[in-house]
Each structure stands twice: as structure tokens, then as C-alpha cells.
Amino acid sequence: MNFVIVLVALLGSVWLLAVVEGWTTTGRLRPAAPLLSGLAHLGRESIVPRTPDRVFFETAPVLLLIVAVLGAAVLPLAPTLVIADLATGALFINAALAYVLVALIMAGWGPNGAYAMIGGWRFLGQLIAYAMLIVMPITAVAMRAESLVTTVIVGSQGGLWNIVYQPLGFVLFFIAAMALAFRAPFDLPTAPGELGGGVDAEYTGVRLGVLRLARLTLVITLASATTVFYLGGWHGPLLPPWAWSLIKTLAVAVSMLLAGRYLPRIREADLMRWCWTLGIPLALLNIIVVGLLVLVVP
């Protein structure tokens, strides 16, 4: 039952996010547009490029979608509303999201096209940049909660949300999550202006539809993770817990979306340099500060 509810919530959020995306790009609020353009993919030809690596080409969009849903499986909407309340939830989400890289490299390699291939490999570089900044802030979150169970992590923020308790960790995680979701300004693997779509470039029809759905789902999953780790999950007055989870998730997802609209794409070298020379020391500092707080504050 939880599975169905979470899945519906996930799809609903994806839909709302797509509506907002359309609103910011066209200036018109058209609730049906995402559904229609999604469906329109079914009416179009789905071309297989010449001499593809067929397995990679076919698997990549589906794998990306599965990865995003798997990540969402350990994130609670309400105290009991979670698909799998794993003892290692915070670790599991890392493990699941590591496959985003695999999916993108497959999508890059599969179609046998130069743009896609460069896009896929670019994401490997991007992973090296963001990976530590996903893991290290989560470490600090787990330190405060003294647990890797996501529901316990939300419970630990009952008094004070982590965004206040460890703001540095939040900023780092938020940026790294955007890089993981390869949203602008971190859209190096797709980069329309540099690679003509990159890993997306050779997909058409249904496959493209799945790929786009997967990308939006990934954003929602990461926004939901941000909510669970930093924004107190379901905590909030008046409204039922699941409503708070959804509202916060959508707010985070929309802010990820908007940030990209007002920023130029980051340089690959800058991303790498800033993440390692600035991001990782700051993440270590965050861990030390949180460690001291945990020890000192009763």
C-alpha cells in the first residue's frame, strides 16, 4: 500500500514540477501541458541509431528511472509512510544514486554518437566533483540523529531542523544534489549549447519520454532527500505530515529548477576545483562542528 501511495506522490510531484517548469519557460500556467507532451512521445517514432550498443541504449533510460524510484523508496513522507524503512536508509540512497553515473555512461555509450559519448564521460568527471559532497554532509546528519534510518533522522529534527543546526551541510548538499541531478547550471552531460543534448541527443519517441520522466523523478527524489535530511521532513504545524513532506519537496525541487534558469552553465574545471578545494574542506569543517555540537549540547 505504501508503495502505491509513494509512487503516486512521486508522479504527482513530477507533474507539478513539470507544470512549474513550463510556467517559468513559457510564462503560461498550463496544467495539462506536461501530460500532453509526455503522451506525445508515444505518438512519435522511436529511432534506434545505427550500430548502437543495443543493451546499453535500451537500458539506460529505464535504469535511470529505476534508480530514482529506488532512492525515493527509503525516504519517508510521514512517520509510517515509507516503502522500506531500512536500518541503513541514508547509506542505501547513496548506493542507489551511484547508479545515475552508470545509467548516464550507458546512455552516452549506447547510441554510438560523439556528443552523447562526451556527455556520458563528462558526468564521470562530475561524479568525482559532487560525490564527496553528497556523502560527507549526510555523515553529519547521521551523526546528529545517531542513526542511518531515515525516519529517525527526521525524528531527530523535531526540535530544530538541520538547515539551522548545520546550514553549511545544507548548502553543500543542495549544490551537490543539483549536480547529481544534472540540472542547469550543472547540466554538463546534456549541455544543449555545447553537446546538442549530449546523453539525450540520440533518444526519440517513447525512450525519450522515459528519459525525461526519469530526470524529473531524480530531481524529486533528491529534493525529497534534502527535505528528509535538512528540512525536518514531515514536521510542521496544522497540515498532515505527508502534506508537509510534499510541500517542502516541491519547494526544494522548484528552487533547483529556478537556480538553473538564472545562471550560466558552470565550467567543468571550476566545478571540480571548487568542489575539491573549497567544498570538501567545508564539508569536513561541517562534520567537526556538528561533532562538537553533538558532544557539547545535551
Partner 1 sequence: MISDPTMTITGARQRQGGFTVLQKWVSRALAGNLSCLIVPGPEVALSHGLDVTAAGMRITATPRDASVLLIIGELSEKMSEAVAVLYAQMPRPRAIVILGGQPPSTLPDADFSAGVSQAGLIDAVDWLKRALAKGAFSDSPEDFDAAVLHARIDYVCPMHPEVVQNEPGSCPKCGMDLVAREAGEPAPEHDHDHGHDHREHRHHEHEHQHHDHAQQHEHHEQERHHGHCHEHHDSHEHDHEQHEGHQHSHENHHDHGHKHQHDESDGDAEEKGSGHDHGGHDHGASGFMSMIEVTKDLPRSADGLAMDWMEVPFGPVFPGLPGGLKLTLTLDGDGVTEGQATSLVGMINESEKGKEIDAETFIERLASAMPLASVSYRLLACLAIERAAGLENDSATDQARAVALECERIASHLGWLAQTGRQLGFAWLTDRAATLQLEIRRASGKRLLELTPALQALAARLGRTPLLKSRLKGIGILPSGTGGLSGPVARAADDAGDAWARLWQRLDEIITSLDYIKATGEPGLPVLRNIGRGSGTGEATVETPRGEAQLSLILEHGQVKSYRLDTACSHHIGLVAKLVEGRELGDALVAVGSLDLSPWEVIS
Question: Contact residues for partner 1 (CB under 8 A)?
Answer: 25-26, 36-37, 39-40, 42-47, 49-51, 53, 109, 112-115, 118, 121-122, 184-185, 187-188, 191-197, 200-205, 208, 260-270
| Least spacing, CB of residue 221 vs partner 1, in Å | 22
Closer residue to partner 1 in complex, CB, 259/280: 259
Closer residue to partner 1 in complex, CB, 77/188: 188
Closer residue to partner 1 in complex, CB, 167/192: 192
| Least spacing, CB of residue 101 vs partner 1, in Å | 16
CA dist 67 to 99, 104, 191, 217, 296, Å?
Answer: 6, 11, 22, 9, 39
| Least spacing, CB of residue 211 vs partner 1, in Å | 11
* Distance, CA of 282 to CA of 140 (rounded, Å): 12
| Least spacing, CB of residue 195 vs partner 1, in Å | 8
**Is the Cα dihedral 68, 103, 176, 142 positive or negative?**
positive
- 113-117: long-range pairs with CB below 8 Å, 24+: 113/49, 113/201, 113/202, 115/195, 115/196, 115/197, 115/198, 115/201, 116/195, 116/198, 116/199, 116/200, 116/201, 116/202
Other beta carbons within 10 Å of 258:
13
CA dist 194 to 118, 122, 182, 184, Å?
Answer: 10, 12, 15, 13
| Least spacing, CB of residue 1 vs partner 1, in Å | 31
| Least spacing, CB of residue 180 vs partner 1, in Å | 17
Q: What are phi and psi of 82, to 5 degrees?
A: -145, 140
Closer residue to partner 1 in complex, CB, 58/268: 268
| Least spacing, CB of residue 272 vs partner 1, in Å | 11
CA dist 284 to 84, 137, 139, 168, 227, Å?
Answer: 30, 9, 10, 10, 22
* Distance, CA of 80 to CA of 95 (rounded, Å): 23
The residue count of the chain comes to: 298
